[in-house]
Amino acid sequence: MAKEDNGSLTAKLARWRAWVQAAFLLVWLTPTVRIHTVCSPVFHCYSCPLATFACPIGVLANFSALHLIPLMAIGTLLVVGVVFGSFVCGWACPFGFLQDLVGRIPTPKFELPGWMGYFRYVVLVVFVLIIPYILGEDSPLFFCRLCPAGALEAAIPNTVESALAGGELALPSKVKMVILALFLLAMFVKWRPWCTLFCPLGAIYGLLSHVSVFFLRFKPESCTDCELCRDLCRYGGRSERRASDQRCIRCMECTTCKAISVDNVFLPSDEVNPSSTLGMQNCFFGSFLGRKWGASALLFSWLLEKPPIFGRERSETRCSGKICV
C-alpha cells in the first residue's frame, strides 16, 4: 500500500520542479547579455545564440587541448557541486529540462541496467580530458564535436540563422546530427537518457553529491517497505537508498515518503542501524566523512547488480528484501 503524501515542504516543492527549471532558463538564455568569460554550472553550449555563460564541459575540454588547467571552471563546479550536488541536474540544467519535457509524452519507458550509468565517467575522462589533451581540439572525437546539446542548441540555430541571413551556410557535422537524433529518440523511451548514461557534468556532480551540504536523507526507522519511493523515481529507482545514489538527480519526488527528506550537514544526523548497511561502514566515505548512510547506499546500489559477496542473507537486512537486494 502506498503511503499518503506527507505534505512536507520538499514534497510540495517537488511538484513545482518544472517551473523552477523554466525559471532558470531565463538565467542561462538571454538575448542580449553575454558573459562568456564565466562558466555556468549547467550543461549548455556556449555557442548557442542565447547562451549567457560558457559551458563548463566545453571549457574543460578546450583547456585540456591547450594543456592548461581551467581553474575558474573547476572552482565553479566545486563551489556549486559541494553546496548543491546533483540538485543542479534536477532543478537547473536546461538540457535536463528538455529531456524531462520530452519524457512527459506518454510513450512506453524502458530502463537500462544501472551499471551503464558509470559510462558517464568514461565520457568525462576519455572524451573531455584525455582525447583533447592528446589529439587536440581538431580531433573528430573532441567532445564538442560530438555533443548533442551543442548540436541542438548551437549548430541548428546558427545554421538556420546563416540560411536566413543569406550568408555562407556552415552545415553541422553528420556525426553530431546523428548523435542528436539518437538522443532525441531515446528521450521518448527513457527518462533523461543523456543525464543517466553519458553526461560528464552529471558525473562530476554525482561525485560531489557524496560530500554536498544539501542531500537526501533516508530514515530506515520510518520506512515501512511500501515501495512508494521506487514507484515515484523515474530515473531507475531500485530502492529507497537510491536517494543518495550518485545517479540520482535529486528531483525530490521520493520525498513524498516521510522516510526521505532533504537535509544538510549542519543538522544532527541520526545514527544508522548497522545491520541495515551490510557492514559497509568501513568504506572511505562512510568512515571518513561520517556519512555512513550515503556511502552504504552507493555500495548497496552497486551490489544490486551483483550477488551478495559479504555473506549476509537478504533476510538479514532491515527491509523485507524485495526492495533492497
Partner 1 sequence: MWKLLRRTIAPAILFLGGISMLVYGGRFHVTPVVEERVEEITLKLPNLLWLSVIEDYGGIGVLGEDGMPDPDSALAADYPPEFETVTRTSEVTRHESEPALIREVTFGGVTLKESGDIWRTYVGEAPSLCPT
Residues in the site for partner 1, rule: CB under 8 A?
36-39, 46-47, 54, 58-59, 62-63, 65-68, 70-79, 82-83, 136-137, 142, 144-145, 150, 154, 158, 170, 208, 211-213, 265-266, 268-269, 288-291
From the CB of 313, what's the least distance to partner 1, in Å? 31
Which element (helix H / strand E) includes 50? none
Closer residue to partner 1 (CB): 52 or 317 = 52
Closer residue to partner 1 (CB): 149 or 252 = 149
Q: What is the residue whose three cell numbers read 526492495?
A: 323
From the CB of 278, what's the least distance to partner 1, in Å? 22
From the CB of 282, what's the least distance to partner 1, in Å? 15
Closer residue to partner 1 (CB): 26 or 68 = 68
Closer residue to partner 1 (CB): 191 or 194 = 194
Query: CA angle 168-174-175, nearest 5°?
Result: 135
Q: Are 310 and 325 in contact (CB under 8 A)?
A: no
From the CB of 89, what's the least distance to partner 1, in Å? 18
DSSP codes joined into one string, 79-99: HHHHHHTTHHHHHT-HHHHHH
From the CB of 207, what's the least distance to partner 1, in Å? 10
Closer residue to partner 1 (CB): 224 or 287 = 287
C-alpha span between 15 and 135 (Å, rounded)? 45
Length of the chain: 325
Choose among 84, 313, 113: nearest CA to 211.
84
174's grid cell: 553528420
